[in-house]
A and B are shown apart, each in its own frame.
Chain A
Amino acid sequence: MESNAGATETRSNVTVSDGGEVAAFESLQFTDEIHRLISAPATDNASSFTALLELPATQVVELLHSPESVKLIVASAPNVEDFKGSFHFPSNTGLIKKDARFSVFSGEGNNKNDKSNSPEMTSKNSSANLEKAVKSEPAETASSLPLVSDPTVENRNIKRKDREKKVKGSTKKSKPATNESLEDAEKLPYVHVRARRGQATDSHSLAERARREKINARMKLLQELVPGCNKISGTALVLDEIINHVQSLQRQVEFLSMSLAAVNPRIDFNLDSSFTSESGSTMDGGNFPSLVTPLMWPDVQVNGYRQQFQHQWHFDTLKQPIWGREEVCNNYVTPENSLLSYDSSANSATLHANQLKMEL
């Protein structure tokens, strides 16, 4: 046991890049404490380490001794890179120093470089929770945002407990960061929950707490979206605001469609060629057709209306003095050609097209 602990220590010593020796040294303490916890009789109380893990003690020890990372499940292809990162968390060390806390590592990786192998966002979620915990280390939190999970962490309920006081005050700090990582974490099949000091630790309330945290995170996002919601405190009022905002938006859509219906009759909307070209192209009106026609016509809804476009070109230009009379003769050709002629002939038309294009 001791030799293995020593092995992990050397490994973490070697691989620590930031955080320095302190992190490595404290990670050594961590493994020692884990061993101590494991060797203690597992039947003491329901919330002991091994009972929490729902694993027999021997298996836990074996898992701990898997050199690559602290995993809860027998891993298939442990990734050394990710394990290197897992001990970079000074958060863990801070947590270890707390008394009578049972911490569970789920092999969070602090790998800044490679993001490819993270289909399981489980440890992303737990790292997100760790994120919330450790605002006292701003450097670490900033770097640990692009977390890559250990590719072999699997679906188990992992619970983490730590002291609340230090944690809570700092959760406010990097809200967008946590929200970002939490958003990714929302896709997880299971939940990482942190139980705070003095709170119940049975699975129901933990799951409940996780759920509440998720909901609060989303409420914060919504508060940012809805203007004027930031100052309001209290979920009910914020929800009222959100409901009002959605209703007002829907009513605005109705109102605008009504005004479009009233205004529309004379306007010809084949300017959508210029609208599609607004995506990225900075060309002037003369160059529109060449760029635009391949963009426009593949659109599924537009394609079906090709015939109608042709007719409408003809029909509308007869009625609309805006586009000029010279366009009438151009409308007996195919739509692509009509766009070409449209752009080249009527200057006022291109002017309007440009105008609307720029506005949109």
Chain B
Amino acid sequence: MMNTPQQVKNPSSSLKSRFITRFLGALTKINAEDPISSPSPTRIFQRYRRIKVASNKSMAYSVRSRRIWSRAMLSRFRSRRSAFSGRRSSVKTTNCTTINVTINENKTAKGGLDMQTDELRELVPGGEAMDVCNLLDETAHYIKCLTTQVQVMRKIVDFCHLSK
């Protein structure tokens, strides 16, 4: 990836700006592929799905591999892509489930909180293979990234409404 030194060490190349760049790029691409102003619900639904994936993907790419959840998300995207060509995605999911089973069996520490940690595991991508400590850590970062994502998207929507 070509990064100018200005961008790499710049404190202003924050998560937010990286996400903005990528997401807007993805949006323009989606706009390009779609015939403009086709208000049929199916098209809108397709666009919605694409935009959602683009948004999550942009965020995951902005975080790169620094976090477990972003790595899990990225591998999910890649396996999804490869699933179109070959059935490799099933392998990854089976690995996750086996790890999940062993963790469930070994869980003894906080008996009453198992339900919540399980729920959290489902919410946070890649959460199945994490111990509680890391899970909480990843949750915190995931929440931070999600709020950035929501903030940026909301501003874009507002802007679009404004300039209509």
Contact = CB atoms under 8 A, between A and B. Distances in A.
Interface in B7-27: 7, 10-14, 16-17, 20-22, 24-27
Nearest to B117: A239
B22 A299 contact: yes
A298 B123 contact: no
A258 B139 contact: no
Contact of B143 (A246, A265, A322): A246
B136 A222 contact: yes
B143 A226 contact: yes
B27 to A, nearest CB: 5
A279 B136 contact: no
Contacts, number: 208
Contact of A253 (B37, B52, B133, B137): B52
Contact of A298 (B4, B149, B156, B160): B4
Contact of A262 (B13, B24, B44): B44
A256 B150 contact: yes
A218 B157 contact: no
B22 to A, nearest CB: 5
Contacts of B7: 295, 298
A260 B153 contact: yes
A38 B129 CA distance: 44
B21 A276 contact: yes
B20 A360 contact: yes
Contact of A249 (B20, B25, B150): B150
Contact of B109 (A208, A256, A264, A352): A208
Interface string A114-147: 0000000000000000000000000000000000
A282 to B, nearest CB: 11
Nearest to B3: A298
B116 interface: yes
A279 B146 contact: no
A106 B50 CA distance: 54
Contacts of A254: 52
A115 B29 CA distance: 46
Interface in A269-288: 269-272, 275-276, 278-280
Question: What does DSSP make chain A's interface, helix, strand, loop or mixed?
Answer: helix
A275 B117 contact: no
Interface in A177-212: 186, 208, 211-212
A272 B143 contact: no
A interface, size bucket: 35 or more
A294 B4 contact: yes
Given A265-B36, A267-B163, A221 B140 contact: yes
A280 to B, nearest CB: 4
B84 interface: no
A356 B154 CA distance: 11
Given A218-B137, A219-B136, A253-B52, A260 B157 contact: yes
Given A260-B160, A295-B7, A279 B17 contact: yes
B48 A261 contact: yes
A295 B2 CA distance: 10
Contacts of A242: 120, 139, 143
Given A257-B52, A298-B3, A265 B31 contact: yes
Contact of B34 (A236, A265, A301): A265
Contact of A296 (B14, B16, B21): B21
Nearest to A260: B51
Contacts of B50: 261
A259 interface: yes
A186 B138 CA distance: 13
Contacts of B150: 249, 252-253, 256
A347 interface: no
A-B pairs, top 10 by smallest CB distance, nearest first, are: A279-B12, A261-B47, A272-B24, A218-B136, A239-B116, A280-B12, A261-B48, A249-B146, A256-B153, A257-B52
8 contacts: A212-B109, A242-B143, A260-B27, A263-B157, A263-B161, A266-B164, A298-B1, A305-B32
Interface of A: 186, 208, 211-212, 214-215, 218-219, 221-222, 225-226, 235-236, 239-240, 242-243, 245-247, 249-250, 252-254, 256-272, 275-276, 278-280, 294-296, 298-303, 305, 308-309, 311-312, 315-316, 319, 322, 352, 355-356, 359-360
